[in-house]
């Protein structure tokens, strides 16, 4: 099973974490099942960017994103070349290192 390393995030996992997820599993769903409260305001329907992650290691092992995901990511806070929507990432056999950005554009969670 691939190992997913989460880099420290001030709220979700301050110390960072390592979990194993099944190959073929959805990254967002897998992290939620392991108890990580990653945002997913659209309930993983590919309609927002709140589940935005940056794949620091293993990015090239992932399926290519489609045009809808690419267009949505243009609106994400802290967009980087290795950004993905975690609700669209299917884990393969490669270990991943994932960073959850400090902010999202979800005003409800940012207390605006």
Q: What is the pLDDT of residues 25-59, one digit of tens each?
A: 999 999 999 999 999 989 999 999 999 999 999 99
Q: Looking at residue 30, which CATH number applies to its domain?
A: 3.10.20.30
The tally of CA atoms less than 13 A away on the side-chain side of residue 25 is: 21
Print the domain residue range for 23.
Answer: 3-99
In a domain, 105, yes or no: no
Overall number of domains in the chain: 1
- Maximal CA-CA distance, the chain: 40
pLDDT digits (tens, 9 = 90+) for 71-106: 999 999 899 999 999 999 999 999 999 999 987 765
- The Cα–Cα gap between 75 and 81 comes to 13
In a domain, 106, yes or no: no
pLDDT of res. 106: 55
In a domain, 36, yes or no: yes
In a domain, 107, yes or no: no
In a domain, 47, yes or no: yes
In a domain, 33, yes or no: yes
pLDDT digits (tens, 9 = 90+) for 55-66: 999 999 999 999
Q: What's this model's pTM, rounded to 2 decimal places? A: 0.90
In a domain, 112, yes or no: no
């Amino acid at each position: 099973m691939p190992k997913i390393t989460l880099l420290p995030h001030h709220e979700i996992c301050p110390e960072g974490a390592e979990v194993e997820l099944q190959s073929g599993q959805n990254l967002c769903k897998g992290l939620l099942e392991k108890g990580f409260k990653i945002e997913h305001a659209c309930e993983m329907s590919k309609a927002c960017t709140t589940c935005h992650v940056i794949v620091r290691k293993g990015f090239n092992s992932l399926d290519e994103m489609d045009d809808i995901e690419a267009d949505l990511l243009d609106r994400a806070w802290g967009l980087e070349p290795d950004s993905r929507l975690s609700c669209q990432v299917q884990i393969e056999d490669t270990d991943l290192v994932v960073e959850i950005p400090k902010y999202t554009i979800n005003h409800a969670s940012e207390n605006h």
